[in-house]
Amino acid sequence: MPHRLRSLATATFGPRALAALLYGLLALPLAIVVCWLTLAGLAIGAVLSVTALGPWLLAGTVRGALAVGALQRVLARRLLGLEIEAPVLPAGAGALGWRRALLGERAGWRAATCAVLTPFTAVLGYVAAAVGYVYGALFTLHPLLSRWNYHTVHEPDGSVRHVSLEFSGYQVDTWPRWLIPFTAGLLLLALAPHLLRHALTPHRALLTALLGPDAADRRIRTLEETRAHAVEDAAATLRRIERDLHDGTQARLVGLAMHLTVIRELVTAGAAPDRVLAAVDTARGNATQAITDLRHLVKGIHPPVLDEGLPAALATLAADSVLPVTLGTDIGTRPAPAVESIAYFCAAELLANAVKHSGASGATVDVTAPDGLLRLRVTDDGRGGAVVGAGSGLTGLLARVRTVDGTLVCDSPPGGPTVVTVELPCS
HEC letters along 194-212 = HHHHHHCHHHHHHHHHHHC
Q: Where are the domains of the chain?
A: 2-211, 215-301, 307-425
Region of 418 please: left (phi>0), alpha (psi -120 to 50) or beta: beta
pLDDT at 182: 62
Q: Looking at per-residue confidence, does 122 or 140 come out higher?
A: 122
pLDDT tens digits, residue range 242-262? 776 666 667 777 777 777 777
CB atoms within 10 A of CB 11: 15
Q: Which of 156-165, 198-207, 310-319 shows the lowest per-residue confidence on average (mean pLDDT)?
A: 156-165
d(CA 282, CA 374): 48
Radius of gyration for the chain, computed over Cα atoms and rounded to the nearest angstrom: 36
d(CA 222, CA 399): 10
pLDDT band at 32 (very low <50, low <70, confident <90, very high): very high
d(CA 38, CA 210): 15
Nearest to 173 by CA among 154, 145, 153, 137: 145
pLDDT at 409: 83
Look at residue 331 and give its three-state secondary structure: coil
307-425, superfamily in CATH? Histidine kinase-like ATPase, C-terminal domain (3.30.565.10)
Quote the mean pLDDT of the chain: 76
Q: Tell me what percent of the residues of the chain surpass a pLDDT of 90.
A: 2
pLDDT tens digits, residue range 280-332? 777 777 777 777 766 666 655 666 777 788 888 888 888 887 788 888 888 87
Nearest to 192 by CA among 125, 142, 141, 122: 125
Q: What phi and psi, each to the nearest 5 degrees, are found at residue 271?
A: -70, 165
